[in-house]
Amino acid sequence: MRSTMAFMFLVIAAFFGYQYFFSKPKPADQQPAQTQSQAAAPAPQAARGPAPATAAAQPSGATPQISASVVTTTTVENELYKIQFTNRGAQVEHWILKKYFDSQGKPLDLVQPEAASRFGLPLSLFTYDPAVTTELNQALYQVSFSGAQPTATGLVLAPASITFHFASNGLDAQKTFRFDSSYVIAVDAQVKQNGAPIRALVAWPAGLGDMEALQQTGMMPTQSRTPSFFAWSVNGKQDSQPAVKVSGNNTLDAPYQYAAVMDLYFASAFLPAVPDRSTVVTLHNAVEIPGDSSDPNSKKIHIDVLGLAVGDTSGSTSVRLFAGPKATDVLKSIHAIGADGKSDGPSLEPLIQYGWMTIVAKPLYLILRFMVEHGIGNWGWAIIISTVIFNLMLLPTRLMMTKSSLKMMRIQPKVDAIKKRYANLKATDPKRADMNAEMMALYKAEGVNMYGNCLPMLVPMLLLWPYFRVLEYTVELRQAHWLWLPDLSQPDPTHILPIFIIISMFFTQYITPSPGMDPGQRRMMAFMMPILFGYMLWHYASGLALYWGTGNLIMLAMQIGINRSHWGKEMHAIAARRAQKKIGAAPKNGQGKR
């Protein structure tokens, strides 16, 4: 039983340690703007030279004037998105995903309004001359269309192509966007200054639109969904870094097959047409907002705003851009450019990062999704049913644990006798090894497995991490509801499940016989473990609490059944006799609690 307790505490410590050191890294000081500091991605060998020089100034008359006279908007739409462009800077004002919603029930806009107003709109241009960058992103571009033509309200139905063109004072900029029925659009951008191409990168500078904490909606920090990451693939090797480790305005010249900014559920990923010529600039900003939206003077919360600019070292940029949900089937269908120049390179599926538990988490996700798609129709019920199945599969091991515990209880007097003979020895005495050898020989002779109690607890514990990762990183579970739970990826707002977990764990511990355990250890197991797990699940995804609470209910039912069996009756009889012996009185009968 001591080994079981040690194992459980080790598991809990590892869980909290992993969350503390890996899932929620502490914010670091940000790099000053427009610096070429330490690279954001350690894996690629980044070229960090001086910024490319722009062409020498020439008479402005060499470039004809091309611009619009008024601000106009154009909306491109397919079944998946609705993208609204403005001709001021040829940028995106709204990138709305039709099948996903924010916390207010409105279709989700991937353009985070507060951050975009400060740091820039998607598909803006980035150059190494701030004045040129400002002019390119403030100019009024002329708009032309290929394929589907806009309606009177400026709506264009994909497939279509839109070109924005601006020329003035020696600058000549052109952007072309092509749309189809998928989440991916193609982007071509070229900027010349006095006839010479300059390195102009296409940017997604200001995070993603589900960073709702920036909108001060009154949500608690745990509900803000703000963790940001920089993810990439270089030469087929995928990796990522949390925002706090990404330097701002850092140029990385490496064969990027894709480079992405993402959070838990959505991503914006650039896939260069020529990876060998790709260049990436990491854009890292931060904002401080009040922790309590109703109190402007409350303690500030630090929120990282991560962005990217991606281009081509030749100066003419051609990329594909995915902006959408991190859904498994969607990401598997999108491939980077491979060595043969075709779209058969790495897929974007690694953007779903289950971590080192992928080997368990991904099959678990596939099992849950199969249930949802084949008759169950609800992720909460899928979690409950899968938990029931897993626990029924563990029933034989639970019975084995009961038999092992009963055997251990039967031979406990012999174990106590061996310990008594060596009781006067110091812990460092070599003869202690003889005591351990005698005990091992006794276990072997009686057919007792001293670790037999661990396996039934080991499997549920090992599934705790995969469930946590699936619930945290699977977009289908975002806003998935079950009965009173509005979002299985967020904590239970009513706290019913954590309270139920505390009560059910306590009652299970209370009715489980443990005569060989020290009374202090028994109290700790009966009170501390339920409180610890209840507190932990108070703050984590309600889907995780649903899994653990369902498991607790099944364990309680199993223990009641075991208590009614002849094994359980014998175990409680032994426990009752030992309890009476310790207080110096003979038991009144041979039965204990059932």
CATH number of the domain to which 128 belongs? 2.70.98.90
Asked whether residue 2 is domain-assigned, the answer is: no
As a whole number, mean pLDDT of residues 487-506 equals 88
Task: Tell me which of 584 and 415 has the higher pLDDT.
Answer: 415
Q: Are 338 and 398 found together in one domain?
A: no
Contact status, residue 122 vs residue 115, Cβ threshold 8 Å: no
Q: Are 91 and 181 found together in one domain?
A: yes
Q: Are 468 and 537 found together in one domain?
A: yes
Question: Residue 564 pLDDT more than 90?
Answer: no
Q: What per-residue confidence (pLDDT) applies to 463?
A: 74
Question: How is the beta sheet containing 73-77 ordered, strand by strand?
Answer: 107-109, 91-101, 81-86, 73-77, 155-157
Q: Are 348 and 385 found together in one domain?
A: no
Q: Are 385 and 337 found together in one domain?
A: no
Q: Are 171 and 257 found together in one domain?
A: yes
As a whole number, mean pLDDT of residues 151-175 equals 93
Percent of the chain with pLDDT over 70: 77
Counting Cα atoms < 13 Å in the Cβ hemisphere of 349 gives: 10
Phi/psi region, residue 375 (left: phi>0; alpha: psi -120 to 50; beta: rest), is left
Which among 32-36, 471-475, 518-522, 530-534 has the top mean pLDDT?
471-475
Cα distances from 564 to residues 384, 571, 576, 593, in angstroms, run 26, 11, 15, 10
pLDDT confidence tier of residue 516, bands split at 50, 70 and 90 = low
Write phi, then psi, for 288 (nearest 5 degrees): -115, 125
Question: Residue 462 pLDDT more than 80?
Answer: no
- Rounded Cα distance between 171 and 316, Å, is 14
Q: Are 200 and 326 found together in one domain?
A: yes
Which among 99-108, 171-180, 381-390 has the top mean pLDDT?
171-180
Q: What per-residue confidence (pLDDT) applies to 247?
A: 87
Asked whether residue 444 is domain-assigned, the answer is: no
Q: What is the mean pLDDT of the chain?
A: 80
Q: What per-residue confidence (pLDDT) applies to 294?
A: 64
Q: What per-residue confidence (pLDDT) applies to 451?
A: 60
- Rounded Cα distance between 374 and 357, Å, is 26
Closest listed residue to residue 382, CA positions, set 394, 367, 361:
367
- Rounded Cα distance between 272 and 265, Å, is 23
pLDDT confidence tier of residue 20, bands split at 50, 70 and 90 = very low
Q: Are 139 and 287 found together in one domain?
A: yes
Task: Tell me which of 411 and 523 has the higher pLDDT.
Answer: 411
Question: Residue 50 pLDDT more than 70?
Answer: no
147: containing domain: 63-353
Asked whether residue 145 is domain-assigned, the answer is: yes
Among 67-71, 434-438, 479-483, name the one with the lowest average pLDDT: 434-438
Q: Are 77 and 143 found together in one domain?
A: yes
Asked whether residue 433 is domain-assigned, the answer is: no
Asked whether residue 474 is domain-assigned, the answer is: yes
Q: What per-residue confidence (pLDDT) applies to 401?
A: 73
Among 452-456, 479-483, 502-506, 564-568, name the one with the lowest average pLDDT: 452-456
Asked whether residue 399 is domain-assigned, the answer is: yes
Question: Residue 551 pLDDT more than 50?
Answer: yes
Q: Are 384 and 303 found together in one domain?
A: no
Question: Residue 339 pLDDT more than 90?
Answer: no
As a whole number, mean pLDDT of residues 413-417 equals 79
Which tens digit of pLDDT belongs to each residue from 341-367? 888 899 999 999 887 778 888 999 999
Look at the alpha carbons of 21, 240, 180, 190 in this order and tell me if their dihedral is positive or negative.
positive
- Rounded Cα distance between 351 and 281, Å, is 19
Question: Residue 331 pLDDT more than 90?
Answer: yes
In the chain, how many domains are there? Answer: 2
pLDDT confidence tier of residue 522, bands split at 50, 70 and 90 = low
Asked whether residue 312 is domain-assigned, the answer is: yes
Q: Which two tokens stand for residue 37?
A: 């500091």
Look at the alpha carbons of 25, 29, 34, 36 in this order and tell me if their dihedral is positive or negative.
negative
Q: What per-residue confidence (pLDDT) applies to 44?
A: 41
Write down which residue in 318, 337, 353 finishes a domain.
353
Q: What per-residue confidence (pLDDT) applies to 442?
A: 78
- Rounded Cα distance between 90 and 187, Å, is 12
Q: What per-residue confidence (pLDDT) applies to 319?
A: 96
Q: Are 108 and 151 found together in one domain?
A: yes
Question: Residue 35 pLDDT more than 90?
Answer: no
pLDDT confidence tier of residue 260, bands split at 50, 70 and 90 = very high
Q: Are 385 and 510 found together in one domain?
A: yes
Asked whether residue 441 is domain-assigned, the answer is: no
As a whole number, mean pLDDT of residues 165-176 equals 94
